[in-house]
Amino acid sequence: MGAREAIVDGEVSPDQWLIDKATGDIVSEHIMKKSHMTQFETKGVSLQPVQVEKTLKACLDKEQVKQLVAISMTVQDLYKKATGYRMGI
């Protein structure tokens, strides 16, 4: 199992943010209920239950989302074309 396999296989649903590229502002966010998470192991990854207090907590805070937006805008400027991202974190 790879780090993103749980998402691809539908085992987990990722949190989602929609960003206004012109301003970098978060337009909307959809925080999913989490029952399982991918845990890195010595050899690969495994699917583990999420602690009850974390089931409705976003996997990133707003500052971390803004940092990812800044990185993606830097990449867009580097390649001189619009880019879109789906990130597994």
Q: Does 85 reside within a domain?
A: no
Q: Does 53 reside within a domain?
A: yes
Question: What global pTM score does this model have?
Answer: 0.74
Q: Does 87 reside within a domain?
A: no
**CA 85, CA 19: separation in Å to the nearest integer?**
11
Q: Does 84 reside within a domain?
A: no
Q: Does 36 reside within a domain?
A: yes
Q: Are 3 and 38 in contact (CB under 8 A)?
A: yes
Q: Does 86 reside within a domain?
A: no
41: CATH: 3.30.470.20
Distances (CA, A) of 31 to 4, 5, 24, 70, 82: 18, 19, 19, 21, 26
Domain count, the chain: 1
Q: Does 73 reside within a domain?
A: yes
Count of C-beta atoms within a 10 Å radius of residue 35: 13
Residue recorded with tokens 């690969």: 44
For 14, what's the count of Cα atoms within 13 Å in the CB-facing half-sphere?
A: 16
Q: Does 31 reside within a domain?
A: yes
The domain in which residue 13 lies consists of 5-79
pLDDT digits (tens, 9 = 90+) for 28-83: 999 999 988 888 888 888 888 999 999 999 989 999 999 988 888 888 888 887 77
